[in-house]
Structure 1
Amino acid sequence: MAMSGGKDDGEPMMEMNTTPLIDVMLVLLIMFIITIPPATHSVNIDLPNPSAPPPDVVVKRDKNKLVITADNQILWNGTVLDGGQLLGTLQSTMAIKPEPELQFQPDPQAPYDTAAQVLNIIKGSGVTAFGFVGNEQFSEFGKAPNAPKATM
């Protein structure tokens, strides 16, 4: 707080008293908080009526494994295919009910371009049961070969 020591040499005070400004701002803030209406927005959701519990039947899906090797080969359950054969095979598996799960596992040294092309073929075929497997093999990707491993 700026206090005058009784000395008046005609110079202006260099400090401004901000206490009244802060008081006014707090009063305005409280007024705005009081005048804002409470949020009464609600979204009506139609929930289903409770019925019998679902059966404990788990549908087992067949699994097809799609691998891209380091030497740029596409393997469907161990059989070598090209892009056209892969599309035909994917479309024929779509007729099976329930749709078999497609597990995609590219080799860490496989060309990225081939993996991207295969993913594009899979997307275009309409496969819905799809997943990546073997991701743990990429946990060291981008690290120096002799870098110490992280321990928990």
Structure 2
Amino acid sequence: MQDLINNPAHYKGYGFESLELLEKLFKKMHKNINAFYLGNAIKYALRCEFKGNKLQDLQKCEFFVKKLEMFIDDSVKTKNLHESFKPFSSYIEKIRAKNGDIATLVSCLVAFALEPFKNNHAVLKVFIQKLIEEMNGSKG
């Protein structure tokens, strides 16, 4: 029997526990980003293919992406985004093997966590809106 409390399958759909990615990201992200909002956005992005209601999970992700707007800080100086992003590449590739759009969404979330720039947030908002519109179009 599946343990839905301690070991739910919908958080391991890409071959890793979503908490692994979140814990690693929380250690590296910009200190002013709200971990609750970011973590929930990533959680809903990662589980949307596996929980049973993809559109609803994408809409929940979008809700938290909108909340992250208050943490935009264009003054942040990252030494090297490419280097900062490296620890997350293996997670992104595992996601990409199953769903390129979700991999792009999670990549955008990670980029915003590392560099909370207005442009990174704008790209994130546009991309999640595109995914939701596509889901709404496929239902109609």
Q: TM-score, normalised by structure 2?
A: 0.23
Higher relative contact order (CA closer than 8 Å, sequence separation 6+): 2
Structure 1 or 2, whichever has the larger Rg, is: 1
